[in-house]
Chain A
Amino acid sequence: MFEIISNLIAAFFTLAIFSFLYKDNPMYRLAEQLLVGISVGYGIPLTWQNAFIPFVYQPIFIQHKWYLIIPCLFGLMYVVRFSRSLSWLARYPIAIGMGMTGAGVVLSMNAGVLVQMRSAMQPIDNINMLLIFIGTVTVLLYFYFSKAHTGFYGKITKVGVWFMMIGFGASFGNTVMARISLLIGRIQFLVYDVIMGFIK
């Protein structure tokens, strides 16, 4: 019984969201705002239970690890962001956060730049490597703006544009596939879970 009711509620809100395709209406807006509200409402008690209790309350008040009050105070400094006179205090936790992110720059450089460069510098022993070579060089030349894109140089950069267009096309094709998949997911729910479930 619970499953039928929950499925019917989900089906109602799915159709309410789809109704936007016809035109904007109050049902669509209700569903949209409920989604945001429920997500936040769900996240707060879950974070309280899984973050505050095991990592703040229990260590400080039960295990008496008093030094943990220091990071908690830094965390609380985020809240003073809403006060005009004290908002400057929020910069400290932001600075610490930025510092932690910065610690990952070296490793990110390895994964995002160095390894990518190394794999682009392979011997051209097959058609794929040749295409990668031409694509990398011509696209890089396109983004070199200290020389006018005219004459022979302009023709080379045009090849780079073509490579980018093919890349964008592939990316757009994937996007269409992803959006259709989301629609399929919802229709599968309506067809198999709601309608078929009701018939059973």
Chain B
Amino acid sequence: MEFIKKLQDLDRRWIYLIVALAIVIPLLIPFNAPTYTTSPTEKLYQMIDSYSEREDRAILICFAHDASTMAELYPMEVAILRHCFERDVKVFTLTFLPTAAPLINYAIDMVKEEYPEIQSGTNYINIGYKPGALYLPIVVGMGDNIAEAVETDAEGRKLESLPMMKGLTNYNELKLVIETSGASFAGGWITYARARYGVNVAAGVTAVMAADAYPYLQTGQLTGMLSGMKGAAEYEYLTDVFAAYSSDDYPNGRPFSKQVLKDKEEISKIDIAKKYDPETKTGIMYKWKTARLGMNAQSVAHMMIFIFILIGNIGFFIDRHQQNKEKK
């Protein structure tokens, strides 16, 4: 009883320390926790994958966040870009926030390191930062003509002169917009681009925003959704299992299949605890498994928080029981 009472009076800084350790230790000693994928992530993955090697299809990733939410959103962006580069899907990147502009370059450069054949203007176009005042003219304008709505890319090149624009005019070809955001859930794209032009909209959101976004997912206004670090981990996993897969039958990745996800032998090949060996090129590079390693720490931290809540409640009820006894 005394122990429980002492726990009730424990300095909160001890709890901070324990939570910090619960995060640091799994990061230092990684383990191969299973990753289960959910339907919103799978739908997004399948849609992007269906545009593979098609000249008349492209996706747009709108970076709507700054560095403060990078932990959750950046691994999503890296995983989606990797998927696109692996499966030869044309990508546009865009932001209306000045502080997100360097994040786009950072993400593209990080992914491109492993894909030397990927060229700016040919495989992807970084539109870069456009002022927030142009949000509506661009979102609506792209419904008529993408090149006219945004005019130039981040390097100042006219969009119409870039080879990737061949076969791309408007939302008839730019079929999917993904907004990664910590403060919204692609609401503007749903309201203006989807309602008017029927473009598919998906969202990558922080876990805080996920509850607000679910009604839009349920009504089908969001084609897919990546929710927080968990969503990022799921996408990383799907990219490893399918897009980055290589065999004689499938040299450039294999198509999505529920059967493969259920196949224990196939799944056991994805081991995030194993260190990447650059000489033999075995294992998974750290940048492709950031969210999954983070989810290891997340699971341990959640267990700690759960235990703290349990102890706190036990202490509270014991305390109340004793107070009632004393009153009697």
Q: Name A's B-contacting residues (CB within 8 A).
A: 21-22, 39, 42-43, 46-47, 50-51, 54-55, 100, 104, 107-108, 110-112, 115-116, 118-119, 167, 170-171, 174-178, 180-188, 191-192
Contacts and interface: CB of A to CB of B under 8 A. Distances in A.
B101 A188 contact: no
B218 A119 contact: yes
Contacts of B70: 185
Interface in B171-208: 187, 190-192, 194-196, 206-208
B219 A39 contact: no
Given A55-B134, A178-B208, 18 more contacts: A21-B13, A47-B131, A50-B128, A50-B129, A51-B133, A54-B152, A110-B195, A111-B216, A119-B218, A119-B219, A174-B227, A177-B207, A177-B228, A181-B229, A182-B72, A184-B27, A184-B229, A184-B297
A23 to B, nearest CB: 9
Nearest to B97: A43
Of residues A21, A39, A112, A183, which shows the largest number of chain B Cβ atoms within 10 Å of its Cβ?
A183
Given A22-B13, A43-B99, A187-B24, A177 B293 contact: no
B112 interface: no
Contacts of A107: 191-192, 195-196
Interface in B210-234: 210-211, 215-216, 218-221, 227-230
B207 A174 contact: yes
Nearest to A44: B98
28 contacts: A21-B16, A22-B13, A39-B66, A42-B99, A47-B131, A50-B128, A50-B130, A54-B152, A107-B195, A111-B191, A111-B221, A171-B211, A174-B210, A174-B228, A175-B207, A177-B229, A177-B230, A180-B305, A181-B294, A182-B72, A184-B71, A185-B70, A185-B72, A185-B294, A187-B24, A188-B71, A188-B293, A192-B286
Contacts of B210: 174
A185 B286 CA distance: 13
Contacts of A175: 207-208
A147 B209 CA distance: 34
A43 B207 CA distance: 27
B20 interface: yes
Contacts of A50: 98, 128-131
B136 interface: yes
Nearest to B211: A171
Nearest to B229: A181
Contacts of B229: 177, 181, 184
Contacts of B133: 51
Contacts of B290: 188
A108 B190 CA distance: 9
Contacts, number: 127
B69 interface: yes
Interface residues of B, number: 57
Nearest to A75: B133
B71 A116 contact: no
A95 to B, nearest CB: 16
A10 B111 CA distance: 22
Contacts of B215: 116
B301 interface: yes
B23 A176 contact: no
B10 interface: no
Contacts of B131: 47, 50-51, 55
A16 B221 CA distance: 42
A21 B219 CA distance: 41
Contacts of A178: 72, 206-208, 228
B1 interface: no
A175 B207 CA distance: 6
B37 interface: no
A182 B211 contact: no
A175 B206 CA distance: 9
Contacts of B302: 176-177, 180
Contacts of B207: 174-175, 177-178, 181
Contacts of B216: 111
Contacts of A116: 215, 219
A100 B140 CA distance: 13
Contacts of B23: 180, 183-184, 187
Closest 8 CB pairs of A and B: A185-B71, A178-B207, A51-B131, A46-B98, A119-B219, A177-B207, A178-B208, A171-B211
Contact of B192 (A104, A112, A184, A188): A104
B129 A187 contact: no
A114 to B, nearest CB: 10
Contact of A46 (B72, B129, B190, B211): B129
